[in-house]
Amino acid sequence: MLDRITVDAILFDLDGTLMDTDDQAVETLARQLQRLHWPCPQRAARRLVMASETPGNALMTLVDVLGLDAPLMVLTDRLRRWRGLRTQDNFRVIAGVEEMLAELNGRYRLAVVTTRGLAEAEVFLDQYDLRGLFDALVTRESTWRLKPHPAPIRRAARLLGVPVERCVMVGDTTVDVRAARRAGAWAVAVLCGLGEREELERADAHLILEHTAQLSSLL
């Protein structure tokens, strides 16, 4: 499909798309279950993390419908500071992503569109020396509304100077797909995160890939 449309820019989600946080979440939960002598902790952890994905996406959609995106993020940031939580600095990049981005660089305008905070996004990009590849970085501080609201995608398109209909949004959840669809961008879903094919199809993704790294071979 992508070879039949005009694409000027590619927007990437972070978690489960460029950043391998899903496996990290599974490993962390598995260690906690192991301490509780839970049978088959690795398998149980993966099932629990995957089971939380759909309710989590539903919550983000409800927050968007109610227009509570900004107040919720302010509250979350305050709670993190109150609890003394620091910005994570041991992110993992999904295999093949660095090579894929290098191949797309110069051919397309690239941007990150994430609900993570700016500090965490910059730490990840700097950790793998990727920041210079992106022309725009849209985080939860960038707009009053978050995905699945179309505002973050539309902001990225404006920052890039590209019509939104010539942008492709790449993400691993229905939140990314719905945001792209509502903004008028093309929605590409990937299965290397926690999103499942059936729900991504129901969300009306234009294209579903097994892995983010496959993108460069399709453009």
Catalytic positions: 13
Instruction: Tell me the helices (H) and strands (E) count for the chain, helix number first.
Output: 9, 6
Q: Is 137 helix (H, G, I), strand (E, B) or coil?
A: strand
**CA distance linking residue 148 with residue 146, whole number of Å:** 6
Q: How many CB atoms lie within 10 A of CB 208?
A: 15
Counting Cα atoms < 13 Å in the Cβ hemisphere of 97 gives 25
Which DSSP symbol is given to 203?
Answer: T
| C-alpha distances in Å from residue 178, one per residue of 1, 78, 117, 198, 199 | 18, 28, 21, 14, 11
Q: Is 6 helix (H, G, I), strand (E, B) or coil?
A: coil
